[in-house]
Amino acid sequence: CPNPRPRAAPHAPPPMEPREQRRIAVTARLRPVLGAEWGREVAWAADSASAVVSDIRTGDSWSFDHAFGPEVDNNGLYSACCSEVVEAFCDGVNGAVLAYGQTAAGKTHTMYGPDGIVPRAVESVFAICGAASADRDFAVTVSFVEIYNEQVSDLLGDREVNVLDGPRSGTVLQNLSSVAVSSTEEVLKCVARGESRRRTGETAANSRSSRSHALLLLGLESRVESEECVRCSQLILADLAGSEGLRYTESTSREQRREGSYINRSLLALTQVIHALSEGGSRSQRVNYRDSKLTRILRPSLGGNAQTVLVCALAPGAASRHETRSTLDFAARARRVENSVCVNIRHDASRSEQQFQALRRELTDLRFKVAELQGSGGSCGEGRLADLAQENSELRQKTEALQAALLANGQEGPFAAARAASPCR
């Protein structure tokens, strides 16, 4: 993994194009029966054809955009519900894929397992960029954060990250490392490095339970050489820690019970945000994103400017019927939430700065020539002096216009470190 660069930058780039209303797309995934579950009651069934999950005992059912049973592998899930988000991300649209569900339901396997969402998404990004037209250049960055006990940590830079309020109701992740990458292999090395630092522990439900939320952030900037505008987008790939009932934590250590308490608290905040948004509440007044670091960071993906997919992982056993019903109810509400999506376009401040400096140098040269002519008593003729004065005036106007554009554009985009990376092709 290349050396990370710490920075403080807006969490999501500002939208500049017409918006489109898009619902959060919801996928339910029922994992296979595992280990001690063999021989016990199976309480749930998923019908891929009708995209319905049913309670076998009561007949209650929930409909989603997709519903997959144990017969569908990671590759099939990605192709059906995640590839569109990744393609839009490469076109300048923010995206998010969130894995949600109780502990031991298969979230981490879905995200990071063989042909999981993370490796498939990364491969797709570089494949799409490599196949794009030759006159468009791409640059990619990666960041990796962990939310543990309401503390946000940089998994690539091994430092604490401050979550601050930014402009336009955005979020700033202060001290977050951003690594410029140019291949799938470089990203996956960063992922492996971050995963090795992520906190896990053994619980009654899972021998290697994630004790934190992990969010992989991919940034993409692209531009055509002849244009001054840059398309910039962010893709969030989130493996959320699982909700934990008391029976899963009562026999564990005091520290693990504390971890479980923080996990449940942040997931409750997420549930309340989804509930408020599903009721059509005003995002600026009724939706309380500030109750958790998780909801603050995910704010652009929840009712904001992002194309979002929610993958809800389900356990099949009757022992977890209560947790599974809770997950299904959450998923049904999330499906009613609408995001306002658009292509993000930013003025290229670095290119404008170069043009500005070139004009300043040209203006200085012209002023020197005018001074020389005036000192020589106008021996080259009044016509030539008037021409130089006209050029001087025109260059001054161009310089002032570029300077105004730079001021209006403000700070550099959130993925400025990507400019140092090699193009994807």
Q: 216-258: per-residue pLDDT in tens?
A: 999 999 998 878 789 999 999 999 998 766 555 554 678 888 8
* DSSP notation for 44-97: EEEETTTTEEEETTT--EEE-SEEE-TTS-HHHHHHHHTHHHHHHHHTTB-EEE
Asked whether residue 189 is marked as a ligand-binding residue, the answer is no
Asked whether residue 101 is marked as a ligand-binding residue, the answer is yes
Percent of the chain whose predicted confidence (pLDDT) is above 70:
76
Asked whether residue 103 is marked as a ligand-binding residue, the answer is yes
Would you state the structure tokens that stand for residue 152, as one six-digit string? 């946000």
Cβ partners under 8 Å of residue 364, min gap 6: none
Backbone angles phi and psi of 147, in degrees to 5: -110, 110
For the segment 132-146, what is each residue's pLDDT rounded down to a tens digit? 988 899 999 999 999
What is residue 121's predicted lDDT score, i.e. its pLDDT? 98
CA-to-CA distance for 362 and 365, rounded, in angstroms? 5
Q: Is the pLDDT of residue 423 over 70?
A: no
Cβ partners under 8 Å of residue 194, min gap 6: 144, 146, 155, 156, 214, 216
CA-to-CA distance for 119 and 97, rounded, in angstroms? 13
What is the three-class DSSP state of 373?
helix
What is residue 350's predicted lDDT score, i.e. its pLDDT? 61
What is residue 8's predicted lDDT score, i.e. its pLDDT? 46
Mean residue pLDDT of the chain comes to: 84
- Which pTM value belongs to this model? 0.80
Look at 98-107, 240-249, 372-381 and tell me which has the smallest mean pLDDT: 372-381
Beta strands in 271-356 (DSSP E): 307-314, 338-341, 345-347
For the segment 68-88, what is each residue's pLDDT rounded down to a tens digit? 999 999 999 999 999 999 999
Asked whether residue 107 is marked as a ligand-binding residue, the answer is yes
CATH architecture of the domain covering 20-346 = 3-Layer(aba) Sandwich (3.40)
CA-to-CA distance for 143 and 133, rounded, in angstroms? 27
CA distances from 337 to 183, 278, 334 (A): 34, 5, 5
Segment 92-103 shows an average pLDDT of: 96
What is residue 171's predicted lDDT score, i.e. its pLDDT? 86
Asked whether residue 184 is marked as a ligand-binding residue, the answer is no
CA-to-CA distance for 253 and 104, rounded, in angstroms? 18
CA-to-CA distance for 102 and 154, rounded, in angstroms? 25
Q: Is the pLDDT of residue 119 over 90?
A: yes
Q: Is the pLDDT of residue 367 over 80?
A: no
Question: Which of these, 54, 50, 36, 35, lies nearest to 314 by C-alpha position?
Answer: 54
Q: Taking each helix axis as running N to C, give the angle between helix 83-90 and helix 117-131, from 0 to 180 degrees, rounded to the nearest 10.
A: 40
Give me the residue spans of the domains in the chain: 20-346, 348-409
N- to C-terminal Cα separation, the chain: 19
Look at 91-95, 354-358, 375-379 and tell me which has the smallest mean pLDDT: 375-379
Is the CB of residue 186 less than 8 Å from the CB of residue 208? no
Question: Which of these, 89, 177, 178, lies nearest to 141 by C-alpha position?
Answer: 178
Segment 57-67 shows an average pLDDT of: 97
What is the three-class DSSP state of 107?
helix
Asked whether residue 378 is marked as a ligand-binding residue, the answer is no
Q: Is the pLDDT of residue 209 over 90?
A: no
Q: Is the pLDDT of residue 301 over 60?
A: yes
What is the three-class DSSP state of 76?
helix
Q: Taking each helix axis as running N to C, give the angle between helix 83-90 and helix 74-81, from 0 to 180 degrees, rounded to the nearest 10.
A: 50
Would you state the structure tokens that stand for residue 351, as one six-digit string? 């290119």
